Amino acid sequence: MLVVSLSGSPSQRSRSGILLERSQRWLQQRGVEVVSYRVQDFNAEELLHARFDSPQIQALQAHVAAADGLLIATPVYKASFSGALKVLLDLLPERALEHKVLLPFSTGGSKAHMLAVDYALRPVLTALKAQEVQHGVFADDSQIAYGENGAAAQLAVSLEQRLEEALEQFHSAVARRPQPLDPNVLNQRLLTANWSI
């Protein structure tokens, strides 16, 4: 099972990034392979000029194509998801999320932004043909405390519970996801089948 983790925060220190890190560890403890990408890892010029031949962008596209599911996290800015994440999503092929299960995370200054994923990000994911977009997890800034001096970040108990529930549902959805059949295997099965009329 392969999951791609995509952070849409342009900041090095990021609450949405903390949710992703926790989720990655949770999945890895259950034997899921997780490949992580952050928007700040990409060359800004290659993103802004849509350089599809960039090795970084091609690597992302290949991992997304092979993935069973994606974790996507974004801070909410001006009632929408991050523009840097939109630029990155625009570089994916038209049907990039077909047959994928997605779990979105978002963080914002107040609970007034909790629906930003539903009305802003979800339509973009649907346009990329996402098979199943799970109910996301929103955290307001007061629910995530940065760890200082090497200490781990702290999540509010209610947020920990919601995150755990969302990850359980995501993991189950990815595990039950039908695997596409390789056309060569299908062709071989058709050729070697015992047909009767």
The tens-digit pLDDT sequence of the chain (197 residues) is 899 999 998 888 888 989 999 999 999 999 999 999 999 888 888 888 888 888 999 999 999 999 999 999 999 877 788 888 999 999 999 999 998 999 999 988 777 666 777 778 888 999 999 878 998 898 888 888 887 777 788 888 999 999 999 999 999 999 887 666 667 777 777 778 777 66
Give the alpha-carbon dihedral of 185, 191, 192, 193, to 10 degrees.
100
Which of 17, 111, 4 shows the shortest CA–CA distance to 65?
A: 4
Round to whole Å and give the CA distance between 158 and 47: 36
Tell me the CA end-to-end span of the chain in Å, nearest whole number: 40
CATH number for the domain harbouring residue 48: 3.40.50.360
Q: What's the total number of domains in the chain?
A: 1
In a domain? residue 197: no
In a domain? residue 148: yes
Range of the domain at 157: 2-192
pTM: 0.84
